[in-house]
Amino acid sequence: MNLSFDTPLPVELVSFTGARAGEAVNLKWQTATEINNMGFEIERSQNASFWTKIGFVEGTIPPIHQSITVLLKKQERRKNSTTA
């Protein structure tokens, strides 16, 4: 994926990882800077085309290492799946 922006983003991302942990997904990230950043919208997708918001993590000043564990319940999986 190649992204190009005319204006700088308000966040400088240092690292981002995601790992499955049973029925949950553990997301971790670290930022170097956050300028006027309200926060991070957490989304999920079954097909990388249709995305559903499942959470929000507020931005921090000064930036710190953020971590969130997302529990995906079976009914959420069914509700958010799409059929052809």
This prediction's pTM: 0.63
The verdict on residue 20 lying in a domain is yes
Burial 47-71 (b: 16+ CB within 10 A, else e): eeeeeeeeeeeebeeebeebeeebe
Per-residue pLDDT at 35 exceeds 80: yes
The verdict on residue 48 lying in a domain is yes
Q: What share of the chain is helix, strand, coil (3-state, %, to 5)?
A: 10, 50, 40
Domain range for residue 29?
A: 11-77
Per-residue pLDDT at 79 exceeds 50: no
**What's the token pair of residue 59?**
């931005």
How many independent structural domains does the chain possess?
Answer: 1
The verdict on residue 83 lying in a domain is no
The verdict on residue 82 lying in a domain is no
Report pLDDT for 73: 56
Nearest to 11 by CA among 69, 60, 76: 60
The verdict on residue 37 lying in a domain is yes
